Amino acid sequence: MRSVGVEEELLLVDGECGEPRALSSAVLAMAARDQHGADEVFEAELHRQQLEFATRPCDTTADLAREIVRWRAAAARHAATLGAAIAALATSPLPVNPTVGTGPRHRWLEEQFGLTTQEQLTCGCHVHVSVESDEEGVAILNRIRPWLSVLLALSANSPFWQGKDSRYSSYRSRVWGRWPSAGPVELFDGADAYHRQISAMVATGVLRDEGMIYFDARLSAAHPTVEVRVADVCLDASTTVLLAILVRGLAETAARQWRAGEPPAAHPVALLRLAAWRASRSGLDGELVCPELMRPVPAASAVESLFAHVRPALEDAGDLDEARSRLARLLHEGNGARVQREALTRTGSLRDVVDACVRRTGQSD
């Protein structure tokens, strides 16, 4: 059984007006006084209006779900003492002037990348799945490339930007794509080739270090995992768990294909970029690019293809019924982008949209 863990980036918002607040340092100080290990879970992010937590590696989805709910609740508790709240929003619906963190790394990014850094108040979800070796990890990266756009569509949770409807389901992914190392990548001829490219990219001087390899999926530099980074932070904890289940299923399916000698699909990066754009624009409410044929299909068809692709791995992990149930719920209720737009239609207020998302963020799985 491959272990799986999740990193979620959350937005800190004012408890009254819903606007983002630069309180991460204060929340981290509160966590440091926590008696339940929260200081080892929470981290600062690029902007002080953000907070990140990381679960421990989990073997079962039930354990992972408890971890996600637990740390969302802890973050909410710490924020509440400061008159704030947390929202699992990938971008702020309300206008914001982000505040870059004070650390040397954050200041370097601000100096080097200017407005790109200033505007990167975006929250993502990163899923880590254990691998036996870098060689297996790169084989997995090669084979999951076409499916990442479907994961983006499932997670899409950022329709609003600076108080306006972006007309995208995941505008976060468009903003994140401004980094020079972000997005889909080519096939690698083994782990050595992967590491040579990473070294060559850092050697250009454009990137500060290996931590700035912002591929949609990469080998973790800190853990023996494949790290899938393509998703928006999910509004509902249930969607985060579903995302983790599917990523683990994709990793196991890819590893089996590699061991069986099945080559990866040779889709060029240009097509993968187009598929990612379509997913960011449409989410689950239009067409997606079919991962196998690279042709437009209804979003539901692309999701069905993903589910069929990973089904044997889900069955073997005991995740099939769980994944089916969570996926049915997501398709019925909609992803975060749809939920946010429906809330705006009901209330006419982006402040009320934030309030509704704060409540959903804190719901149990």
Burial class (CB in 10 A: 0-12, 13-18, 19+), 26: middle
Residue with tokens 């850092």: 202
> Tens digit of pLDDT for each residue in 259-316?
999 999 999 999 999 999 999 999 999 999 999 999 999 999 999 999 999 999 999 9
Amino acid at 200: A
Contact 258, 143 (CB under 8 A): yes
d(CA 282, CA 276): 10
Ordered domains of the chain (ranges, CATH): 100-352 (3.30.590.20)
Of 35, 33, 51, nearest in space to 43 by CA: 51
pLDDT of residue 267: 97
Parallel, antiparallel, or unpaired: how do β-strands 84-87 and 296-298 relate?
Answer: unpaired
End-to-end CA distance of the chain: 22
d(CA 89, CA 157): 6
pLDDT of residue 39: 58
d(CA 295, CA 56): 38
Residue with tokens 């929202």: 87
> Tens digit of pLDDT for each residue in 40-81?
789 989 999 999 999 999 999 999 999 999 999 999 999 999
pLDDT of residue 364: 79
Q: Name residues of the chain where pLDDT drops below 50.
A: none
Parallel, antiparallel, or unpaired: how do β-strands 124-130 and 160-161 relate?
Answer: unpaired
Torsion of CA 28, 239, 329, 287, to 10 degrees: 130
pLDDT of residue 34: 75
The token pair at 48 is 């002080």
d(CA 356, CA 246): 27
Three-state SS sequence of the chain: CCCEEEEEEEEEEECCCCCECCCHHHHHHHHHCCCCCHHHCEECCCECCEEEEECCCECCHHHHHHHHHHHHHHHHHHHHCCCEEEECCCCCCCCCCCCECCCHHHHHHHHHHCHHHHCCCCCEEEEEEECCCHHHHHHHHHHHHHHHHHHHHHHCCECEECCEECCCCEHHHHHHCCCCCCECCCCCCCHHHHHHHHHHHHHCCCCCCHHHCCECEEECCCCCEEEEEEEECCCCHHHHHHHHHHHHHHHHHHHHHHHCCCCCCCCCHHHHHHHHHHHHHHCCCCEEECCCCCCEEEHHHHHHHHHHHHHHHHHHHCCHHHHHHHHHHHHHHCCHHHHHHHHHHHHCCHHHHHHHHHHHHCCCC
